[in-house]
Structure 1
Amino acid sequence: MKRKVVRFFCYFFYSILVGLILFWGIRNQYLLDQQRSASFDARPFIVFSTLFPFVIGMLFALPSLYKKYRSSGKWKYDWIKFFSVGIPAAIAATIPLTYFSPISSIGPIGRFLAFLSNGGQLLFFISGMVFGFVTFCSFKKMARDELIETAEYLEG
């Protein structure tokens, strides 16, 4: 019973922490948007709007990473998951940053990126969260038996 209460409070305080960080991020994004409107300099807003979802995704992956940390085994990184899901999500999330790069002035590529950027921020926010989540969830621990089976599979 005591273990369930401790687990409840851990998740409860974790939820409060995530909520506070979300509130802080949304507040800062709003303030940067106001600054952008006043100064016509969109760079701080776009950079923050691009990087903040990565942090949120990493926060969502923390319970999983902590659970893996408590288990026994040797640390491994799932590069297949990272390259097949994480990198495309990172590319999609950083499309707004291309607005300030020379690539935005290249004919059809620039028009396509401008089209994607005008579609709203939901795509970029979700892609950034996915990248942050996959970055942390790609860490795993393999037990000694799994390591031996993997080594035998690779050898033979």
Structure 2
Amino acid sequence: MMQMPELHIPKNSLFTAMNRFIGAVNNMDQTVMVPSLLRDVPLDDDKRQGEREPGRYLQEAEADMYAYYTQLKSIRNDIEWGVVRAEEKRPKEKHLVTETARTEPDSEDVDLEQLLQYHLKGLHCVLSKLTSQANNLTNRYKQEIGIAGWGQ
């Protein structure tokens, strides 16, 4: 019988970062029992913790914790189910995708390994920030409902 070797995944790998983010969003999703309580709760509180405002990618009118909660869940779904599904859901973002494609050099002129490293570093950085922000949202929700000391 052939045994599978135990997988050792470095803590800085993209796979680990994705798992950390998905775990943080799953924890957030399980903790936030009543997402509507997040409506109209400003994101300002994260600034005092030294974090940048997580809602900066949302429209100013939508910049409350509920909008950010739904955005984090959407990103998790995009990671779990794939980008094709996300593109089908959001055709208005195709413009952004085509802009990105135009700014990247032709694959014949660029070292693909170097390009991959660039994108992996970027993905890892974004996933780390999103993980931190999902954890912050979970903690803020606990504060809002009065269970700030539980499970930390």
TM-score category (smaller protein):
0.3 to 0.5
- Which structure carries more helix by proportion? 1
Higher Rg: 1
Q: TM-score, normalised by structure 1?
A: 0.34
TM-score (norm 2): 0.34
Per residue, is there more strand in 1 or in 2?
1
